[in-house]
Chains A and B, each alone.
Chain A
Amino acid sequence: MEKKTNTLLILALIVGLAFHGSAIFFTLESTYDALIHLFFADHYANSWFDPWEYRWYTGFTVQSYPPLVHQLIGILSYIGGLKFGMYTVALIAIVLFITGAYRYTLLMTGSRRIAGYGAVMAVFSSTFVETLHIFGQLPSISALSILLHSMTEIYLWIKTGKTRYFITSATMLAVTVTSHHVTPLFGMVFFIAPLMGMAVMDASREKVASYKALTFKVFWGTTLQHFWRIAKFGGTAIFLLVFCIFPYWYNSKRNPITQVAIPHGSRDNFLEITSSGLVFFIIPWGVFLFILPYFFYRYFSKRYVFFGLSFGLLTILGTGGTTPIPRMMLGEMAFNILTLDRFTLWATIMALPIFAEFAYRMVEGDLKALIQKRFGGVYHRVLGGLIAGGMLFMVLFTMTLGYFRPSQPAKIKMLPIVNFLGADSHDSWRYLPLGFGDQMAWLSAQTGAMTVDGNYHSARRLPELTTRAIERIENSKFRGVEGIGSLQQFLTVPEKYNLKYIFSNDKFYDPILYYCGWQRLQQLENGIMVWEKLNVAPIPQIMPKQDVPTIMKIMWGIIPLSTVLIAIFVNIQMIWVRLLKSRKVPVHSFMKLELPYNKFSSKLLTFSHWWALLVLICMGYGMYIFYVKNVTQLSPNNVVESYYDALDFKEFSRAHSYIDPEQNIDIAQYMLEVSVTDGILSSYAKLDSLGIEIYDKTENSAKAKVSTRWITPLENVFNNDHHELIKRKNKWYIKSLKVDNDIPPDQLFTSNGTTYYNHGRRKITTQETYHEDVLKQPVLEILSAKLVKYKGQYSIIGELQNVDNTPADIVIKATLYNDDNKELANYNAKHQIKHKLMPKETTTFKINFEGIAWSSTKDTLPPTFDPDQFTPISFEEQPTKFNLQSAGNTANTDLYKHVALQDLVYTEQGFNGVLFNSGVQEVTIPQLIISYYDAEGKLLWVDHKFITEGVRIQRKQFFNYKPLDLDSLAVVSSSLENCFVNGSPNKAIADKLFPNRKLTHGMKQAQPFKGKGYEYIKFEINSYIGNPK
């Protein structure tokens, strides 16, 4: 028989390359993983044999991920750059996947026609589209494709026992191993084991006349005959898995993953969290969902029974946390480490041949005949159209998901950042990107500068990161308390990590940066704001490194590409022959097993219809629920919810549509009123939860008490609002709250002030900064310092003054000791201090000793976000002494001091005060620092309060503060003995610069107030300006 080229396969390849090949240029760079692989590739391109990578996580080893794909991209990058390498590898992966699906289908069905269908289905399979275009899992796709290719060879080895097939299968398996470790590991269980079963089954079938005669006894006998082949292959596979990526296993043993599990959507209950259900269940399965009964029917036939078991298992495991079964099967540990979506991926890939078979039977086989007979030709065409249309819809939907629901921030131009890091030795410090998404990997790949963050969470090393379920600090706002908590530790003690620069692409983080003592340096031309921290030492020249034996480096550098070369060498003849049909090859035995497909089970058809109906009903119900939840003015509850939702997303015209129309507030007026409010709630908060309590409800009116919980970078904000609701023409409306009519007296204000500028280096030099260009550190004086214990927690409180003549940026670090002078803990002042002081300005401060949260992973993690959740350090011994190290550096920004305390009244609800902004900058977030004093004017405690609304220029803002009860406060130690300023003893400074200090001034500025445990209280104001002008 003359062998013809399979036109369907050629068609699939052309369409596949044209479609995926052009689409990747628009999707791949905004996928979750692709840029991470690019970063790894950049590592190999720069240092092929040295596995240590300094740029992420204060150093990690790339031997924590199989290297083949990265090394391929790295090699190709020498031709046309990293991205060229990535796209080339992606194109190769596409070809490998389509041909792999073809060969796998051919093996399973024995029909070249159906295999052609399989190749076409592979192109349009939504699971492949998702894995490539949304997840960007290049290594996983490559490994899976090679695994599919190797299946034919493995089958033939088991069946025929020819050494040729043993070699081809082993070489291909080696390539799989070096490109992805999990694929061959689970592939052995889920793909190769059933394949071997099928091979033995086929061998048994040849011995008997029919499948009916194939009893277990026959099968067992054949298994024993084939045992050595199976064992030989199994042993080889295990050897390859261990040997080819031995450094990986060595590293896993040496640096076991001890971190807290990071939540992953694939472990969610898909019925509860529908977005996860969509991404990890609906999309990968797609149209396959309707045809599930056929898959099970076919896979549980005798020949495929092992595949059936495997398929069933994969399907169940892929359901994640929807049912308790996967958790029970995998065990708690594995369940929390594995991402379960890969099971669904494998299940859908496994189903491909059967789907191809179904398509064949539907288009030109017995199913077509059956349907036409039972329901008529029109129905067949409509049904076929629906299935094809459904498939196409799923592909388009998946492809455009990233467009309509972007999972990544908009593409950032990296060049300005790369230039910034390269200039003026900025790369002598570490940097931290914020709000970059997975693009941070692309930034890292382009610069030699180091970051404390990273994008490969398995390699995290700092306990601040591994003890928390966050993948990156960069997107910590999405990771709740752990995220912000981790970020705050890095921001408060940046000198520990030599962290000096932050690139912020998300203004959400601005307030916390400011209150942790960071300052804005400049805005780059791509809109990224650069923040810097003063008083941070550069990275030391010699950095710690975890070295591995040279043999490991050589293995890691040489084996992966060698496996590819060997595989090509071994298989080249076969590829050549198969491609060009240059000579006839004997038909493989599995080709004889093609089924006649002459009688489609009528019962199955009926059952499939009912099943499809069920699926449709479920989907319809889901859509209905979605609709009801989103009708906005159906009930008082709905209108309040919608109103707050609109406010949260800043869709003010939508919010305006819920306002009572009879109040006659036109949209322009409403927008104006909204636009003039500023503050942490309107600019930096995300609505976390909404509690609506409807009371006094009548037919046409109701009152609502709305308790809101807002997430801000600083702390949680709880708000209670009362609204009046009204029903007009069957629609509920909300009554607008009255606005403050306050107007300032003047139209134009003038303001004078001293401004500062620091040249940096006056001389342009690449050497160290000249001695005369280094500014003198402003001198500070610590006026008081105490170690106190309040509510079971130790804190250092105190007061300090900038006694110099230039403005100072303050960094203050406290260390606690016990009686034996053993160091117990150290920490920096976070936000209970004014970090920027004008000459002669004073500030009170408080240092809390924060431990690394959940350092024992057994502690239960709080379920929701709580940024001000604080993990006090646990002391094994009693701290009795302390050491304070403060440092001043010349400050030239954030020196706005024009907020006055205009009124203060004590009522039963606490202090009601009025702030007045007498300057010309809008204060976005005012902070009150409240200090408590005893009768002698000695400092007892420091507290703070963020005011949720800003203070506009020349206007007032009201605040309420409830004073504390301090009866339980104990002063452990009060001493200025071990206090240092810029490295000099505090006492010497005090004696020299302030020999005649007037000690009564503190008392004269404080409010006498008889509270529980104190006599005086003082309010200081620290102002964060969101948009300095």
Chain B
Amino acid sequence: MRVKILMILSLVLLGCSSKEEEQPKETNTPNTTFITSKNTSIAGEAITLAFNTDQPNANYKLQVKNAYGNVLLNPKNSTDKNITFNIPKNFTRIAGPFRWKLLSNGETLHNGKHSITTNAPKATYVESYFGPRSVTAGRNDFSMLTISPTDAYDNPVDDGTEVTVKYQFLENIDEQKITTESFIAWYNVASTLKSGRILVTSECNGTTSKELATIVYPANAVNFNISSSSAHNFADGNQIVTFTSDIIKDEFGNVVTNGTLVTFVIKNEDNSYLYTIGTTINGIAEAKTLHPDKAASWEIQAFVTGAAESNTTEFEFKAAIKDYPVHFSKGNRNIDIGPFESFMKQLIPDGLLLKLEVYDTEGNFIESKITTTKSGVCNIFLGEYFLPDGEYLFKINAAGITKEFTKSINGDTVK
């Protein structure tokens, strides 16, 4: 059974394979001659290729090929002896050569090359780019203006076409003539020593481009001076001290860009490095910080990191509070500290920090309490639940002044 099926199958297959091969039709190659004499044209100009033939009704095709692609054309009108082909617009408008082949039934009868030149006289468009959009003042930075003039059909103009570059900086307007090379013309507009804005434009065949600009930013800052000021120089922990730079400039005398960050580093008497930050406006940086709450001496230096630094200035804070009273009551559980009197015997502004540390008689730390002054005084109550009766050592620290008391506390007021 299986053998039978196999045999039938193979017979069927044989039947399929023995199909006769198709014979090519016999044709005689037509005799043609190329009669168009012109083999150059200007972009946009209509192009017609004409041939003389002895078989006007044969199957002719013209293959046209340029840098963008291929197209197969049918003859436009075949009169008794002539066949003509109209090259389509998208081929006639592209500058450069195109190649053609006359084909008949797959056979090449003729081939040739046609050149199209740029149509600059009709109209010129100027496309231009300028970058980077900002440069640094000095002698080694520049922005490049790139101009690509094209004809009406977007063909780059011929190499060697003259382009005029104009650029303006402050009062100066300069002009430069350059030529295109490999489709483009370019010009490096050198940075100036002064900061400002350079405007450029270009012109080619009477067409001008739009206005483009680059900003010349000042170069890196050079060393500068700072000063400090405050309403008074007492360490009240409340007033604000201001550090100001003079006008920070670069090496060419330009005022540095607004927003340039200046770090004011403060070194205090404990060799701690503190800082505050300012950003420049018209070259002046201003930074603020708070007065310390105890006598201090600050050394301040400012930096534009990596580029410039200032002189070192000093600021001395005198102690605002010379001393303060401490009063124990209610079995020594209630501690009233103050009034704190400032440099003119006025009450210190609210918020002075006060720290109480409680030690036992052997000097072991038990607990600490922190509070701030209000209306010049502060109060701490040590409830029974907080501290049992007994003898304790109290250390009170405020405004840089430490006071020690040994007290025995007893009794409680909580019912």
Contacts and interface: CB of A to CB of B under 8 A. Distances in A.
A384 interface: no
A847 B45 CA distance: 63
Interface stretch (B9-17, B284-292, B330-338): B284-292
B199 interface: no
B373 interface: yes
A838 B263 CA distance: 12
Contact of A754 (B239, B258, B301): B258
Contacts of A726: 385, 414
Interface string B218-244: 101100000000010000001110000
Contacts of A906: 272
B259 A900 contact: no
Q: Which of A803, A897, A918 has the most CB of B within 10 A?
A: A918
Contacts of B231: 745
B349 interface: yes
A897 to B, nearest CB: 5
A902 B351 contact: no
B385 A724 contact: yes
Nearest to B292: A903
B290 A956 contact: yes
B305 A1001 contact: yes
A916 B260 contact: no
Interface in A671-689: none
A993 interface: yes
B289 A740 contact: no
Interface string B258-276: 1111010100101111111
A805 B305 contact: no
A1006 interface: yes
Contact of B140 (A805, A992, A1004): A992
B275 A838 contact: no
Interface stretch (A236-244, A573-581, A694-702): A694-702
B303 A1004 contact: yes
B257 A900 contact: no
Contact of A738 (B271, B306, B309, B371): B371
A741 interface: yes
B129 to A, nearest CB: 6
Interface stretch (B35-43, B106-114, B130-138, B168-176): B130-138
A781 to B, nearest CB: 8
Interface in B293-339: 301, 303-309
B372 interface: yes
A1013 B19 CA distance: 91
Contacts of B350: 741-743
Interface string B116-151: 000000000000011111101000110000000000
Contacts of A1006: 273
A771 B309 contact: no
A842 interface: yes
Contact of B238 (A745, A752, A805): A745
A985 interface: no
Contacts of A700: 414-415
Contacts of A772: 130, 133, 212
B384 interface: yes
A741 B374 contact: yes
B8 to A, nearest CB: 32
B385 A741 contact: no
Interface in A721-744: 724, 726, 738, 740-744
A997 interface: yes
Nearest to A998: B306
Contacts of A745: 231, 238-240, 349
A840 to B, nearest CB: 5
Q: Which of A805, A841, A898, A906 has the most CB of B within 10 A?
A: A805
Contacts of B415: 700
Contacts of A998: 306-309
Nearest to B373: A741
B103 interface: no
Contacts of A904: 272-274
Contacts of B386: 703, 724
Nearest to B272: A904
Given A900-B287, A1005-B273, A840 B306 contact: yes
Given A740-B351, A898-B277, A1005 B265 contact: yes
A213 B257 CA distance: 105
A754 B285 CA distance: 11
Contacts of A840: 221, 260-261, 304-307
A1001 B309 CA distance: 8
Nearest to B223: A998
A742 B272 CA distance: 24
B281 interface: yes
A1008 interface: yes
B144 to A, nearest CB: 13
Contact of B306 (A771, A805, A994): A994
Contacts of B265: 1004-1005
A804 B133 CA distance: 12
B279 interface: yes
Given A742-B372, A918-B287, A838 B276 contact: no
A999 B259 CA distance: 22
A775 interface: yes
B306 A801 contact: yes
Contacts of B288: 898, 900, 918
Interface in A314-342: none
B206 interface: no
A555 B271 CA distance: 80
Contacts of A752: 281, 286
A595 to B, nearest CB: 65
A839 interface: yes
A1001 B303 contact: yes
B277 A900 contact: yes
A1001 B384 CA distance: 55
A539 interface: no
A918 B303 contact: no
A628 interface: no
Nearest to A897: B277
B216 to A, nearest CB: 10
A437 to B, nearest CB: 42
B88 interface: no
Given A700-B415, A900-B276, A997-B306, A776 B289 contact: no
Q: Which of A771, A783, A839 has the most CB of B within 10 A?
A: A839
Given A726-B414, A840-B261, A741 B384 contact: no
Interface in A873-930: 895, 897-906, 916, 918
Contacts of B259: 754, 756, 805-807, 838-839, 895
A621 to B, nearest CB: 36
B60 interface: no
A744 B140 CA distance: 50
Interface string A737-772: 010111111100000111010000000000000011
Q: Which of B290, B350, B371, B374 has the most CB of A within 10 A?
A: B290
Given A741-B351, A746-B240, 15 more contacts: A742-B351, A745-B239, A752-B281, A753-B279, A776-B131, A776-B132, A805-B257, A838-B260, A838-B261, A840-B261, A895-B259, A898-B288, A902-B292, A903-B274, A956-B290
10 contacts: A738-B372, A752-B286, A805-B134, A841-B261, A842-B306, A897-B261, A902-B292, A906-B272, A918-B276, A1001-B305
Interface of B: 129-134, 136, 140-141, 212, 217-218, 220-221, 231, 238-240, 257-261, 263, 265, 268, 270-277, 279, 281, 286-290, 292, 301, 303-309, 349-351, 371-374, 383-386, 414-415
Interface of A: 696, 698, 700-703, 724, 726, 738, 740-746, 752-754, 756, 771-772, 775-776, 783, 801, 803-807, 837-842, 895, 897-906, 916, 918, 954, 956, 992-994, 996-999, 1001-1002, 1004-1008
- 7 closest A-B pairs by beta carbon, nearest first, are A742-B351, A900-B276, A701-B385, A918-B288, A754-B259, A805-B217, A805-B257
